[in-house]
Amino acid sequence: MTTEERSREKILFVGLSKAGKTSIFEKFFLRSDLRTIENINPTLWYSIKKPNSEFTGSRMTIFDLGGQSHFREQYLQSPALFSKLRAIFFILDVQEPDLYEEVISYFKQVIQLVEENNEDPIYSVFFHKYDPGTQEELKSNLAEGMELMREVFQKRDYVFHVTSIYDETVHREMSFALFRSFPEDAAVQAISSLELEEFIERLAASHESLTSAEREELLIEARNLGNYLGLKIRDRWLKIAIEGPDPQDPIPRLPERLAFKWMDHEEGQKIEITSVVEEGKESDLETEGFVTEEVTKGILSSLGWTTTGKEFNVDKNRKFFKLSLDLDHEIKEKEE
């Protein structure tokens, strides 16, 4: 990994032909109707798409890899295709258990190539076409597929998703997969919330030297607020995925006084937050930094991240503070 600010925005959609990769994209990003989705032609070679997502703006680039065998062979000879990855969404058709062996072989080859490239993307595994009205007969296929995928992914960072284009599961699971893949966007939106601004202002207005008991109480309140804000942003992403953006409830944007960076470093990821004292205002930077740290930890915990180290500095002229947190992602398996 590099120490440069994170710039990997590529997501790969990987699966065999007719697994439903393009269908998921069409339903989630383009809100295509079922007639359009059911008449999609197989992807030839691969297609590159830059959806203007309400969650991440236009930074995301999706590579939809055609799943025919001759294309798969060519991809595996093209290491550059598997570089600078943010995430890989593996799609498996649960209605075709006879193809599981072929799927496993392909997924293993992709993972091997990714790891040889020293990439560490977020993995999401979609058990697709688990359609309403057929789920009872597909239960054994789903269970078998999950067991096989556990063996493929083992201790890697992965999450299972069960989806169908005939209900809201594509919206729900895709929004969650993006939430995991772009945690800095979710964290920025949570940190930008009015609730956090009001919390900090309330502290500034009533601040006195804190006793150890008061500090502990503040820590718990701040961490709980962070968890709440992280989950609130996740709910907002899901609502947008299903209903579209709501002008009356826009995604919050970072206040000018705050700067936010998400970076790679040798041992994982790092988040850096800088808060500038607004002109004409006084601020207890130590307390604000402490609160921001605890709220941020709560937010990141709701996203599956843990804090492994920190650095906190206040400008000698007391005009700003800078908070850096070293992060590690918890390995969790999510099943329906």
- Residue 134's pLDDT band, with cuts at 50, 70 and 90, is very high
Higher pLDDT, 161 or 309: 161
DSSP assignment letter at 132: T
CB of 161 closer than 8 Å to CB of 24: no
Please state the length of the chain: 336
- Do 170 and 210 belong together in one domain? no
DSSP H stretches of helix in the chain: 21-29, 34-38, 69-75, 100-116, 135-153, 169-181, 183-191, 194-206, 212-243, 285-302
Query: 310: domain range?
Result: 185-329
* Domain end residue (candidates: 132, 160, 181): 181
- Do 134 and 30 belong together in one domain? yes
* Domain end residue (candidates: 154, 181, 208): 181
CB neighbours of 298 closer than 8 A, spacing ≥ 6? 222, 223, 224, 225, 226, 227, 228, 229, 230
Residue 191 lies in a domain: yes
DSSP H stretches of helix in 155-312: 169-181, 183-191, 194-206, 212-243, 285-302
- Residue 52's pLDDT band, with cuts at 50, 70 and 90, is low
Average pLDDT value over all residues in the chain? 79
- Do 40 and 157 belong together in one domain? yes
- ∠ Cα 63 69 74 (to 5°): 60
Residue 5 lies in a domain: no
What's the pLDDT tens digit per position in 186-212? 777 777 777 777 776 666 555 556 677
Residue 259 lies in a domain: yes
- Do 269 and 308 belong together in one domain? yes
Distance CA 308, CA 319 (A): 27
Q: Which domain CATH number covers 196? A: 3.30.1380
Packing angle, helices 194-206 and 212-243, rounded to 10: 160
- Do 216 and 162 belong together in one domain? no
The tokens for 160 are 């299972």
Domain count, the chain: 2
- Do 148 and 191 belong together in one domain? no
* Domain end residue (candidates: 161, 181, 201): 181
What's the pLDDT tens digit per position in 283-293? 677 777 877 88
22 pLDDT more than 70: yes
- Do 162 and 206 belong together in one domain? no
pLDDT at 151 (0 to 100): 92
What's the pLDDT tens digit per position in 232-267? 877 777 777 777 777 777 777 777 777 877 776 666
- Residue 333's pLDDT band, with cuts at 50, 70 and 90, is very low
Distance CA 234, CA 225 (A): 14
Q: What mean pLDDT do residues 159-178 have?
A: 89
- Do 225 and 262 belong together in one domain? yes
